[in-house]
């Protein structure tokens, strides 16, 4: 017996309460144990069905309010716990988590939820929180500069303030000038000449001198091999990936010696 799409099934609209045939069938099937395989087949064959708008409404109606088989009933504490435990251990994929996060955006959180989030974040400094930043600033862990909210200890390239350590006494103007001279007054990264370097000031463009960079970042190590002239913009680059720059310039100075 085939079933054509669009045809109405003989039992459409009938229930076992209203139709004798259905009632009999139900009674006949009661107690029959269906094998795991059959159940899976049945389940698979039902997956992916597309229902009409009307049918979906009917299905919804038959499960809402008093029609819901669970209407007026409540889960036991034990059942609730079981369900909760099960949900706690769920693991979501990166994609799902992203979707969930997107969905939550713009929805105001309840006081209770916010409290819970606060509890779970205790002890972790949040660089976006102005209170946290004020505290860190007072403790000297945050530098008062603009532009980046991850300052001081919160910054990925935080260096324990080594960049603030005083220079050694022997880091004199004469020594610095000697280093510039040694490298013919050229930035050893972009090779611009000192005469090409200007900086903007309130009174207009001003010439500026090459900066002297400490290759190993130790400002007290003022040996000639540890010093190299850089223009301001190249020198700023050396604030990141310090280890790489150290190796790079050490190789460079080593090559020059040969
Ligand atoms: Zn340069």
The tens digit of pLDDT for each residue in 156-173 reads 666 655 555 567 668 888
Whole-angstrom CA distances from 64 to 67, 71, 74, 198, 257 are 5, 8, 15, 76, 85
For residue 190, report the distance from its CA to the centre of ligand 1, in Å. Answer: 4
104 CA distance to ligand 1 middle (Å): 47
CA of 159 to the centre of ligand 1 (A): 23
List the domain boundaries for the chain.
130-158, 167-257
At residue 227, what are phi and psi to the nearest 5 degrees?
A: -120, 140
The pTM (predicted TM-score) of the whole model is: 0.39
* Integer Cα distance of 80 and 71 in angstroms: 17
Using the mean position of ligand 1's atoms as its centre, give its distance from the Cα of residue 242 in Å. Answer: 16
CA of 252 to the centre of ligand 1 (A): 15
Give the model confidence (pLDDT) of 223-244 as tens digits.
Answer: 999 999 999 999 999 999 999 9
Q: Are 156 and 149 in contact (CB under 8 A)?
A: no
Q: 14-18, 37-41, 87-91, 175-179: which range is least confident on average?
A: 14-18
Q: How far is the centre of ligand 1, averaged over its atoms, from the C-alpha of 205 (Å)?
A: 18
Q: pLDDT at position 27, please?
A: 76
- State the Cα–Cα distance between residues 214 and 226, nearest whole angstrom: 6
Say if residue 2's pLDDT is above 60.
no
């Amino acid at each position: 017996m085939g079933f054509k799409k669009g045809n109405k099934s003989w039992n459409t609209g009938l229930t076992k309460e209203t139709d004798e045939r259905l009632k009999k069938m139900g009674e006949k099937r009661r107690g029959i144990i269906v094998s795991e395989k059959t159940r899976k087949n049945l389940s698979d064959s039902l997956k992916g069905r597309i229902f009409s708008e009307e049918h979906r409404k009917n299905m919804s109606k038959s499960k809402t309010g008093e029609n819901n088989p669970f209407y007026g009933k409540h889960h036991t504490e034990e059942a609730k716990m079981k369900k909760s435990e099960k949900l706690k251990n769920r693991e979501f994929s990166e994609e799902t988590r992203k979707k969930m996060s997107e969905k939550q955006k713009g929805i105001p959180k309840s006081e209770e939820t916010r409290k819970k989030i606060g509890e779970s974040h205790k002890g972790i400094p949040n660089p976006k929180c102005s209170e946290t930043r004020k505290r860190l600033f007072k403790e000297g862990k945050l530098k008062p500069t603009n532009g980046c909210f991850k300052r001081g200890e919160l910054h990925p390239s935080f260096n324990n303030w080594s960049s603030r350590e005083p220079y050694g006494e022997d880091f004199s103007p004469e020594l610095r000038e000697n280093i510039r001279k040694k490298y013919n007054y050229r930035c050893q990264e972009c090779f611009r000449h000192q005469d090409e370097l200007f900086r903007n000031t309130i009174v207009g463009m001003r010439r500026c001198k090459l900066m002297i960079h400490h290759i190993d970042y130790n400002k007290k190590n003022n040996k000639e091999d540890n010093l190299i002239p850089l223009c301001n913009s190249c020198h700023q680059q050396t604030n990141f990936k310090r280890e790489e720059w150290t190796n790079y310039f050490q190789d460079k100075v080593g090559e020059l010696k040969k």
